């Protein structure tokens, strides 16, 4: 056997070993799911090999090998400090694993509302980013609302032309200023009783809005919770605030930057709801609404049924996906 051949064989053997190990780990994970009785709780923080659960006012640090995310409903055993099973998820916010885009990482579960925060100035509005957030929200099953912050910096009142298409799509748009307090009450009232996350470009004022909605020291938790695990101190990264108005806000580093996941050039159009009706008029059933003749979407571009800016956003994302299908 030549040197090259030996090297290759070693490589294959090692790969097979790795795969067997992974398969074993996977089956152990499944076995770890137990059916015994326990108590219902919500996951409020995640650490390595452990998570923190909240049951009424009681917090408990639990061991787990299950795939849990912040916001998950679980059944746990307080005595054994162990997660027994994860309850089915209503909604799932996810993003691709940074090291392997084919693996989905759930960043939060059971979120009712995703508040996409934008500002018109400092930083300037990036409508392309809004389109991305809303695609991710469509996938998640949660409701999306748009919050325009820093209205104190706006030259003229009223909805700016760039945001009109979103309102036409039936999206709620809130105008706020964390500095003057304008619109904060209305936003808090909308979120009352719901579990929500705030997302948006850095610097748009997400933290400031949260502070404006929870004056004083009424936050439910501190910033991060120190938890004890197998003799080591670990830190859970999620924060969970119960606002005075009754909204539950979950914040994790991942939430702030979540984007698209598993969207292909062929499925992108499913996430543009205004295209659905128009696509009935297309000559071809699998029309991509770009080059094809007799395209109902293209014919409507520029009208109030298909806004030009949204169609451009579609083309931009489509080209990005065609050039590099794994980036989202
Ligand atoms: P985050 O990165 O989205 O959490 O943004 P921050 O809450 O840290 O805010 C970024 C900057 O914008 C800070 O300097 C805030 O003081 C400022 N800021 C936040 N909200 C407003 C607002 O409504 N009006 C003005 N003028 N500035 C704001
Ligand atoms: Zn078409």
pLDDT of residue 86: 94
Going by pLDDT thresholds of 50, 70 and 90, the confidence category of residue 220 is very low
Closest Cα partner for 116 from 89, 138, 91, 95?
138
Tell me, using a 6 A CB cutoff, whether residue 153 lines ligand 1. Answer: yes
Whether residue 313 is contained in a domain is answered as yes
Q: What percent of the chain has pLDDT over 70?
A: 75
| Percent of the chain residues topping a pLDDT of 90 | 34
Look at 72 and 234; give whichever has higher pLDDT: 72
Q: Determine the 3-state secondary structure of 89 from DSSP.
A: coil
Q: From the CB of 307, is ligand 1 less than 6 Å away?
A: no
Q: Are residues 73 and 126 in the same domain?
A: no
Instruction: Using CA atoms of 141, 271, 197, 89 in order, give the dihedral in degrees to the nearest 10.
Output: 20
319 and 287 in a common domain: yes
55 close to 74: Cβ distance less than 8 angstroms: no
Measured distance CA(308)–CA(55) in Å, rounded: 49
In a domain, 163, yes or no: yes
| Whether residue 291 sits in one domain with residue 210 | no
311 CA to centre of ligand 2 in angstroms: 12
What local confidence, expressed as pLDDT, does residue 130 receive?
Answer: 83
Q: Which of 256, 276, 302 is the last residue of a domain?
A: 256
Ligand 1 close to Cβ of residue 204 (< 6 A) = yes
Which pLDDT score is estimated for 228? 41
**Cα gap 90→106, rounded to integer Å:** 13
Cα–ligand 1 centroid distance for 177 (angstroms): 9
Question: Do 56 and 161 fall into the same domain?
Answer: no
* Residue ending a domain, choose from 256, 277, 305: 256
Per-residue pLDDT band for 203 (boundaries 50, 70, 90) equals confident
CATH number, position 161: 3.40.50.300
Say if pTM beats, i.e. exceeds, 0.75: no
| One domain, residues 49 and 128 | no
| Within a domain: 57 | yes
**Which of the four pLDDT bands, split at 50, 70 and 90, describes residue 218?**
very low
Alpha-helical runs (H) found in 69-183 = 127-140, 164-168
Range from 27-31, 126-130, 269-273, 278-282 that averages highest in pLDDT: 278-282
Specify if 44 maps to a domain.
Answer: yes
CB within 8 A of 66, min separation 6: which ones? Answer: 29, 32, 33, 83, 85, 86
The mean pLDDT value of the chain amounts to 80
pLDDT of amino acid 196: 93
Query: What confidence score (pLDDT) does residue 327 get?
Result: 46
Residue 102 has pLDDT above 80, yes or no: no
Residue from 270, 116, 281 nearest 205 by CA: 116
Tell me the CA distances in angstroms from 242 to 70, 94, 156, 203, 275, one per residue in order: 15, 23, 34, 23, 38
Residue 150's pLDDT band (cuts 50, 70, 90): very high
CB atoms < 10 A from the CB of 75, how many? 18
Asked whether the predicted pLDDT for residue 262 surpasses 70, the reply is no
- Which of 31-35, 175-179, 225-229: highest mean pLDDT? 175-179
The residue whose CA is least distant from atom 19 of ligand 1 is 205
Assess contact for 76 and 83: CB atoms under 8 A: yes
Spell out where the chain has E strands: 39-47, 50-55, 58-63, 73-77, 82-86, 92-96, 104-109, 113-119, 143-149, 172-175, 195-199, 225-229, 232-236, 239-242, 248-251
Q: pLDDT band at residue 11, thresholds of 50, 70 and 90?
A: low
Residue 48 is part of which domain span?
Answer: 39-86
| 3-class secondary structure, 271 | helix
| pLDDT for position 122 | 78
What pLDDT was estimated at residue 48? Answer: 78
Nearest ligand, measured from the Cα of 183: 1
Q: Do 289 and 236 meet the contact criterion of CB atoms below 8 Å apart? A: no
HSE-up (13 A, CA, CB side) for residue 275: 23
């Amino acid at each position: 056997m030549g040197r090259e051949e030996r090297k290759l064989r070693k490589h294959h053997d090692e790969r097979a070993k790795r795969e067997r190990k992974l398969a074993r780990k996977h089956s152990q994970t499944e076995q770890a799911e137990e059916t015994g009785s326990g108590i219902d709780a919500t996951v409020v923080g995640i650490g390595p090999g452990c998570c923190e659960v909240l049951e009424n006012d009681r917090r408990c640090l639990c061991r787990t090998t299950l795939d849990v995310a912040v916001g998950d409903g679980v059944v746990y055993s307080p005595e054994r400090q162990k997660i027994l099973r994860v309850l089915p998820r209503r909604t799932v916010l996810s993003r691709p694993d940074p090291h392997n885009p084919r693996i989905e990482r759930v960043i939060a579960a059971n979120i009712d509302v995703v508040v996409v925060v934008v500002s018109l100035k400092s930083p300037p509005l990036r409508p392309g980013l809004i389109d991305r957030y809303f695609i991710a929200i469509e996938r998640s099953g949660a409701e999306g609302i748009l919050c325009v912050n820093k209205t104190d910096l706006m030259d003229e009142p009223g909805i700016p032309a760039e945001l009109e298409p979103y309102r036409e799509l039936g999206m709620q748009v809130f105008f706020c200023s964390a500095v003057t307090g304008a619109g904060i009450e209305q936003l808090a009232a909308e979120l009352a009783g719901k579990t929500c996350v705030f997302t948006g470009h850095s610097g748009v004022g997400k933290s400031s809005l949260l502070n404006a909605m929870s004056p004083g020291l009424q936050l439910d938790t501190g910033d991060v919770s120190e938890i004890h695990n197998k003799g080591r101190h670990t830190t859970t990264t999620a924060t969970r605030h119960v606002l005075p108005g009754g909204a539950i806000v979950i914040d994790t580093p991942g939430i702030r930057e979540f984007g698209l996941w598993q969207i292909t050039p062929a499925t992108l159009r499913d996430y543009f709801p205004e295209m659905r009706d128009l696509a009935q008029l297309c000559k071809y059933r699998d029309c991509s609404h770009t080059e094809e003749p007799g395209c109902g979407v293209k014919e409507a571009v520029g009208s109030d049924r298909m806004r030009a800016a949204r169609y451009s956003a579609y083309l931009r994302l489509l080209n990005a996906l065609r050039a590099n299908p794994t980036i989202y």
